[in-house]
Amino acid sequence: MAQLIVMPKLSDTMEEGAVANWLKKEGEVIDEGQDLVEIETDKATMAFASSAEGVVLKILLEPKKTAPLGAPLCVIGKKGESFNLDELMAKAQGGKAAKPQETKPAVAPAKIPAPVAVLSKPTPVAVVQLQQPANGRLKASPLAKKMAADRGIDLSGVAGSGPSGRVVAKDLESLGSSVHPMAARAVRTGEDRVIPNSMMRKTIAKRLLAGKNEAPHFYLTVSADMTRMNEWRSRLNKEAEKSGVKVSVNDLVIMAVSRALHKHPEINSSWQGESILEYGNVHVAMAVALPTGLVTPVIRNTDQLSVKEIAFMSRDLATKAKDGRLSNEDYSGGTFTISNLGMFGIEEFTAIINPPQAAILAVGATISTPAVDAKGQVVAQPRMKMTLSCDHRVIDGAMGAQFLQTLVSYLEDPLNML
């Protein structure tokens, strides 16, 4: 008997999906549990396995098309079997009458309105006649050259009234200040592009808009001396040259943050309306930039992991994110997020809280900075700035400051984490 395959819910926040690629074509045989289609969700593109076996009788949603949860994707049945789509839809909806499918018209690019007539008389712009000297040399007086440079006028497009066509000061004075600097210059024109938003980009926009509008943000910035942490990282990576995973600065930050969250559980929390939820476990999410948007895979029970375990898991999750292989479990359940742009040379920035979390840490690059050491001498230190964005409904200024004090102490002396 023919069976209708509908749009599945592949993530906890998914409301609609798009077909990225059909792995089976109409008329092809498929087994139960075999990958049928790749679906683009708000988080990643994932393969969806068939819940039926037989032949793909009809594909109902073309690639790159978006549909809500429960929308029909395809029909699977016996070869040559006839079916009634309305009956299959009614059965899939629990016996309810199937509603006819409406095709939404494609959104056309916004039209540029016609220019509105101007009532006042516009200021006339001088017309510059282009001419090329016969011998290839431009003739102009020194004063005319200076005036042209000050006004941004291309002298090659000015007709001179001096001897042998030489440009003199009065030729520029007659042009006045109404000559646009680009009037005598050829301008290359480009074309606007309309880029459709991916499922991920639309979800990012929706969640961050809600996060920024609903959570009253405030920001705290500190700077940490990374001298000892860098020395420790060098020792760890020398040991890892023969075997093991190398440790990045971000791995060390994740480790220090997880330990600081364990000590300050009030930061590892979220606003619940009538209450504040203080999470019992520390699950740190790390922001990973993709061409289609931003994902935040989660390292679970981070405060219980060694730095080498964190390094291994962070690389595995980053690779899976870039390959589009993240599962729902990989990016759900985070209790705190770290966004690091230091590898791009960004020294300092603020980040938007990832709801329902109460805070996010923005990490900048480590920069050699003049600082006063314990002996009162000015020295160059490798310092890293970090900005904590806090939900003021959950976190007060003093609470955030104490958390950052602990974090800085861990980064400046890794032994404090033991």
Residues known to be catalytic: 392, 396
The angle, 0 to 180 degrees and rounded to 10, between the axes of the packed helices 249-263 and 307-322 is: 120
Q: CB of 158 within 8 A of CB of 167?
A: yes
Whether 7 and 73 have beta carbons less than 8 Å apart is answered as: yes
Structure tokens, 265: 């559980």
In angstroms, the CA 387 to CA 221 distance is 4
SS3 content of the chain, % helix, strand, coil (to 5): 30, 25, 45
Within 8 A by CB and 6+ apart from 328, the residues are 10, 11, 12, 43
Tokens of 34: 């075999």
- CA-based diameter of the chain, in Å? 96
Work out the number of other CB atoms within 10 angstroms of the CB of residue 331. 23
3 vs 54: CA distance, rounded Å: 9
List alpha helices for 240-326, DSSP H.
Answer: 249-263, 307-322
Give φ, ψ of 90 to 5 degrees.
-60, -40
- CA 278 from centroid of its chain's CA atoms: 28
Tell me if 73 sits within 8 A of 6, measured CB to CB: yes
Amino acid letter for position 221: T
Judge contact between 71 and 7, C-beta under 8 A.
Answer: yes
Contact yes or no for 298/331 (Cβ under 8 A): yes
Cα–Cα distance measured from residue 76 to residue 62, given in angstroms and rounded to the nearest whole number: 16
The two beta strands, 269-271 and 276-278, are antiparallel
| Helix, strand or coil, per DSSP, at residue 106 | coil
Using CA atoms, how far apart are residues 55 and 32, in angstroms rounded to an integer?
11
